[in-house]
Structure 1
Amino acid sequence: MHKEITGKAFVFGKNIDTDQIYPGRYLELVKPEDIAKHCLEGADPTFVERMTKGDIVVAATNFGCGSSREHAAITLINAGVSVVLADSFARIFFRNATNLALPLMVVPGISEKVNDEDELEVNLEAGTVYNRTTGEKIQGEKISEYVMNILENGGIKPLFKKKTETSNI
């Protein structure tokens, strides 16, 4: 898990729900490569064709609203999205993504300061976004030590497994 991430931005609007992130009609798919093909299909059918592994999703408010399915975070991970930056996130999506080790960062106003294909540098520990295209530095919320620990361990399950293996239970 890299604490500093560089990638091309793909900007989305408000209230991008879980069905736009990963349409429910694909829930039967199980292979990561098949799941990845439908990432953000409901919001932008060309997203997967245009993005490359390591790129960054930027959104306005309430990203990930809708169902509590983990599939939305799973498709973003399998497509190779390195981090999602948004003005705000839906609570359940935020927790699902964290549990699966997909970095999310709240950056108030980010959706108005970044355009599609801007080159961004993100520092998760400092909570900063540097827009290489415009030269603007944007302050977001730092990722907490608790969440960073989950991300660095590859998700909540690997972290729990590691803790239980090293404890005297």
Structure 2
Amino acid sequence: MSLVYEGKVAWIFPDNFDVDLIVGVQHIKETNPEKFLPLTMKEYEPNFLEQVAKGDILVAGKNFGYGHPHFQGMAAMRKLGLWCILAESFAPAFFRSEIVSGMALLTVPGITERVKRFDRVRVEVEQGLVHNLNSGDVIKGVKPSSIILDLINNRGMIGFIKAELARDLGKGEGD
């Protein structure tokens, strides 16, 4: 398993950021991604959709994902191809819901002071390392547990269960 993400820092969120704000609280009851995707980050960066590319990486301060655990903001980011978030820390409910959705979340103390928006970074999730390709800095984060790595590698709980079932079904009786 090689969990490496490389891309530019698409955005740096402040401490205690409520992810409902990504699409706007007024749209939080919308369940169709095609309707809330065009609203992604409009209140913060009107050109965000034009500036972001598949594989880009989000960075955040402390307690990222604070607030209600609504799915729309991060569903929009996944739809855009952003599958990796580096944060000083995560709100516990957010962390649980996004790990089971397959988002690569890495706790990296000091990350907001060591990268800038649009820096290119390479994230070695298994090692808990972030390489700032612009500055040459190597930033040490917290290595995820093996179960979290499995969930990320399988793009979430559904993929993880499918992989486990396939593995179990591949074993014959008496194995």
Is this a same-fold pair by TM over 0.5? yes
Match of 1:40 in 2: 41
Amino acid in the other structure paired with 1:118: D
CA RMSD of aligned residues (A): 2.2
Mapped pair 1:114 → 2:101: no
Instruction: Establish whether residue 71 from structure 1 lines up as the match of residue 98 from structure 2.
Output: no
Structure 1 residues without counterparts, runs of 5 or longer: none
Tell me the equivalent position of 2:21: 20
Name 1:11's counterpart in structure 2: 12
Asked whether the equivalents of residues 154 and 160 of structure 2 are also in contact (C-alpha less than 8 Å), the reply is: yes
Which stretches in structure 2 are left out of the alignment for 5+ residues? 170-175
Which structure 2 residues correspond to residues 101-140 of structure 1 after superposition, within 5 A? Answer: 101-140=102-141
Q: 1:163 to 1:76 in 2, by over 3 A?
A: same
Q: Structure 2-normalised TM-score?
A: 0.84
- Aligned identity (percent) is 33
How far apart are 1:19 and its partner, in Å? 1.7
Deviations 1:61-106 (A, max 9, x none): 1111111212232122112113110101111111111011011100
1:33, 1:78 within 8 Å by CA — same for their partners in 2? no
Matched position secondary structure for 2:39: coil
In 1: Cα distance, 2:115 partner to 2:153 partner: 27
Q: Is the 8 A contact 2:20 2:72 kept in 1?
A: no
Distance change in 2, residues 1:40/1:89 (3 Å): farther
2:93 corresponds in structure 1 to 92
Q: Label 1:65 to 1:44 Cα distance change in 2 as closer, same or farther (>3 A).
A: farther
1-structure distance, mates of 2:93, 2:47: 26
- Paired residue for 2:173? none
Relative to the length of structure 1, the TM-score reads: 0.87
1:60 counterpart = 2:95: no
**SS of alignment partner, residue 7 of structure 2:** strand
Q: Which moved more, 1:63-72 or 1:116-125?
A: 63-72
